[in-house]
Structure 1
C-alpha cells in the first residue's frame, strides 16, 4: 500500500520509518528543505515518560495568574482576536479538575513508556546515535515550599509504577556534580532515573537517512495546500508542485494540522503554544549538567547534548507568531546562569522558538480521522520527542490493519465528540 505522510518532523519521520518497516511504499512531504526544521529542531532534548502529564490540572488557573505576574514566569499570553485561541483555552480550563487530570494522565503514560521502549529497541536494532544519554531527569526545587508540594506528584508516580528518587541537596549534587557550586540555591529534588536525553533534530535527520535506505521518498520544499476528498474519502493532496495521491494519508503537521483539516469538516482542538530554547557551547564540561535538570521555579529544562547545553522553556500563547522575544531569552539565560554559571558561554548561545501542537486535555491524537484513508498523528505538545517512536509505531500498526501492542483507543479524535 502507498502511504503519504504529511510532515517531516520527528512524528512524521518515525511514522514513515515504521510504515516502511511494515512493507508499505512511503512518501513524506514537507515545505522545509529537510527533516526536523521546525518544532523538532531545537527542543529541550528530553525523552521523559516520567513527566508525561497534562498541563491542565487542579490548581493550574491560580498558578497561571502567579506565573503571568513573574518577571521570569513560565507562562505568557498575548491575547488576540482568534476564536480558536479562546475556544482552546476554555477547553483547557474545563480539564483543570482532579478527575480529568487523572483520566488524561492515564492516557499519556502508556504511550510515553511504550515510546521510550520503542526508541531503545530502535537504537539497538540500528545503532542510531544522536548525542543520547540515559542518565535520568532531576526536578530541582529551590524552595522548601516546592519540596513540600511534591506529595501529589509522588503519588501519581507510584500509581503508574514510575521509578523515582526523592533527594536532599547532597543527593542532587551527587546526581549533578556541577550543582555543588550553587548548593545554597538547592532545597531538594525529585529524580526520575528512567528518563533519557538526546538531540531530536540529529535523531530525525539520521532516521530519515535510514528511511531512505528502506525506500522512503522525501519531497522537501513542497508546500501542502489542501487535502482533497470525494464523498467521505481522501482522493489526494494538492501541493505547490502538483497533485499527490496514495492509498492512505497520515496527518503529522503538528500545530498546522487543524488548518489543513478544517476544510474537510474535521475540527481537531490542537493549538500552537510557543516554546523557546537557547543552545550554549560548553566551555567547562565539569561545570555543565550531566543529563537534564528541570528548574522548577522557572519551568526551564537544562540538558546536556554532546558539547552543548540546551535550555528550553516558556509557554507562550500567541497563535502562529514565530517572532523571537528577548525577554524569553533573558529567562532561559537567567536559569542556566544561576544553576550552571561555569558550564557554558551564554554570550555565544543561539536563540530559537518553535510551536508546540497542544491539545486542551494533554494526550496526543492518534488513529483514524473519520475520513476514509486519512489517519492522524498530531497534538503531542511538549512531548513529541518523548512519544515519537511509540506514536509512529502504533500509527503504522493501525494503517496496516494490525492491533497495536498497547491500547490507544482513548487517544482517538472521537474523544472530543
Structure 2
C-alpha cells in the first residue's frame, strides 16, 4: 500500500518509519526545507511519560486566573475575536472534572509509557544518536503548599504503576547536584526515574535519513493546498503549485494546521495552537548544569541538559498562529534558569525560539481512522509530541496496516469528540 504522510515533524517522521517497517511504500510531504523545523525544532527536550497529564484538571480554572496575574506567568491569553479559540476553551473547561481527568490521564499515560518503550527499541535497533539521557525528571517545588499537594500527582502515578520518589531538599540535590549551589530556593521535589531527555530535532533529522535509506520518499518544500475527495475517499493531495499527488491512504500529521486542512471534509479536529517558548544556552560549567530535566513547578518551566547545551522551555500562550518572540516570555525562562542553575550556562549567548503546540481540549492526541475511509490522523499531542511520537507512529502504522495494536487505541480517534 502507498501511504502519504502530510507533515515532516517528529510525529510525521516516526509514522513514516513504522509504516515503512510494516512494508508500505511511504511518501512524506513537508513544507519546510528539512525535517522537524517547526514545533519539533527546539522544544523542552523531555521524554516524560511520568509527567503526562491533561492540562484540563479539577482546580485548573482557579489556578489559571492566578497564573494570569503573575508577572512571570506560565499562561498568557491574548484577547482575540476568534470563535474557534473560545469554543476550544469551553471544551477544555468541560474536561476540568475528576471523571474526565481520570479518563484523559489514563489515555495519555498508556500511550506515553508505550511510546518510551518503543523509542528504546528503536534506539537499540538503529543506534540513533540525539543527545539522549536516561536520568529521569525532577519536578521541583519552591513552596510548602506545592509539596503538600504532591499526593494529588502520586495518586494518579500509583494507579498507573509509574515509579516515582518524593524527595526532600537533600534528595533533590542527590539527583541534581548543581542545586546545592542555590539552597533555600526549593523545599522538595517529585522525581520520575523512568523519564528520559533528548533533542527532538536531532532525532527527527536522523530518523528522516534512516527512513530514506529504507526507501521512504520525503519531499521537502511542498505546501498542501487541499485534499480532493470523492465517494467518501481522498483521491489526491493538491499542492499550492497545482500538483496532484496520489496514494492509497493518507495520514494528516500537520500539528496545529491539521484542522484547517480537514474542515472542508466535514471532519472537526479540536486542536488549537498553544504557543511555547524556549532558550538554548551553551554550557559554561558542566558541574553547575542540570544532569537531566528539572521542572520548575512555580513557573511551569523545564530546564533540560542536551549534550553541551541547556534547553529552557515553557509558557502556554494563546495567541493564534503568531510566531512573534515576546521579551516578557524570555524573561520568565531566564528567571527560572538563573534561579536554579545560575552558573550552568551563558544567557548572553542564548538563542530564543517559539513554536506552536497542537493542543486538544482533553489533552489526548488524535490518532486513528476518520469518517473518510482512507484518511488517518496523528496530531494533537500538545506539549508531549516528543514523548508520544514513537508510540503514536507505531500505533498508527498498526491501524493503517490492519494489525491489532499492542495497546488500546480505539479511544484516541477523532470520533471521540462526536461521541
Please list every run of 5 or more consecutive structure 1 residues that lacks an aligned counterpart in the other structure.
none
SS in 1 for 2:411: helix
User: What corresponds to 2:238 in structure 1?
Assistant: 238
How far off is 1:231 after superposition?
2.0
* Alpha-carbon separation, structure 2, partners of 1:167 and 1:308: 26
* Alpha-carbon separation, structure 1, partners of 2:104 and 2:216: 34
- State the Cα deviation string for residues 7-34 of structure 1 (Å, max 9, x = none): 0000000000000001111000011000
Q: Does 1:176 align with 2:176?
A: yes
* Alpha-carbon separation, structure 2, partners of 1:139 and 1:109: 17
* Alpha-carbon separation, structure 1, partners of 2:370 and 2:283: 45
- State the Cα deviation string for residues 366-410 of structure 1 (Å, max 9, x = none): 100110210000000000000000000000011111111111111
How far off is 1:240 after superposition?
2.7
Alignment of 1:283-322 (within 5 A): 283-322=284-323
How far off is 1:412 after superposition?
1.0
Alignment of 1:385-400 (within 5 A): 385-400=386-401
User: What corresponds to 1:63 in structure 2?
Assistant: 63
How far off is 1:83 after superposition?
1.0
User: What corresponds to 1:88 in structure 2?
Assistant: 88
Matched pairs, number? 417
* Alpha-carbon separation, structure 2, partners of 1:407 and 1:140: 33
Q: Does 1:105 align with 2:105?
A: yes
* Alpha-carbon separation, structure 1, partners of 2:149 and 2:3: 48
* Alpha-carbon separation, structure 2, partners of 1:97 and 1:219: 44
- State the Cα deviation string for residues 105-138 of structure 1 (Å, max 9, x = none): 1111111000000000000000001000000000
User: What corresponds to 1:19 in structure 2?
Assistant: 19
User: What corresponds to 1:323 in structure 2?
Assistant: 324
Please list every run of 5 or more consecutive structure 2 residues that lacks an aligned counterpart in the other structure.
none
Q: Does 1:74 align with 2:74?
A: yes
User: What corresponds to 2:405 in structure 1?
Assistant: 404
User: What corresponds to 1:226 in structure 2?
Assistant: 226
- State the Cα deviation string for residues 233-281 of structure 1 (Å, max 9, x = none): 1001001341110000000000000010011111110000000000011
* Alpha-carbon separation, structure 2, partners of 1:356 and 1:29: 20
> Runs (4+) of structure 1 moved beyond 6 Å?
none
Alignment of 1:2-401 (within 5 A): 2-241=2-241, 242-401=243-402
* Alpha-carbon separation, structure 2, partners of 1:322 and 1:229: 32
- State the Cα deviation string for residues 299-335 of structure 1 (Å, max 9, x = none): 0000000000000000001111111111000000000
How far off is 1:79 after superposition?
1.5
* Alpha-carbon separation, structure 2, partners of 1:178 and 1:295: 15
* Alpha-carbon separation, structure 1, partners of 2:90 and 2:79: 14
* Alpha-carbon separation, structure 2, partners of 1:369 and 1:69: 40
- State the Cα deviation string for residues 67-124 of structure 1 (Å, max 9, x = none): 0000001000001111110100000000000111001111111110000000000000
* Alpha-carbon separation, structure 1, partners of 2:240 and 2:256: 20
* Alpha-carbon separation, structure 2, partners of 1:34 and 1:398: 27
* Alpha-carbon separation, structure 2, partners of 1:118 and 1:236: 32
* Alpha-carbon separation, structure 1, partners of 2:413 and 2:18: 19
SS in 2 for 1:409: coil
TM-score, structure 1 as length reference: 0.99
* Alpha-carbon separation, structure 2, partners of 1:317 and 1:240: 28
Cα RMSD, aligned residues only: 0.6
* Alpha-carbon separation, structure 2, partners of 1:154 and 1:374: 38
* Alpha-carbon separation, structure 2, partners of 1:326 and 1:244: 42
How far off is 1:183 after superposition?
1.2
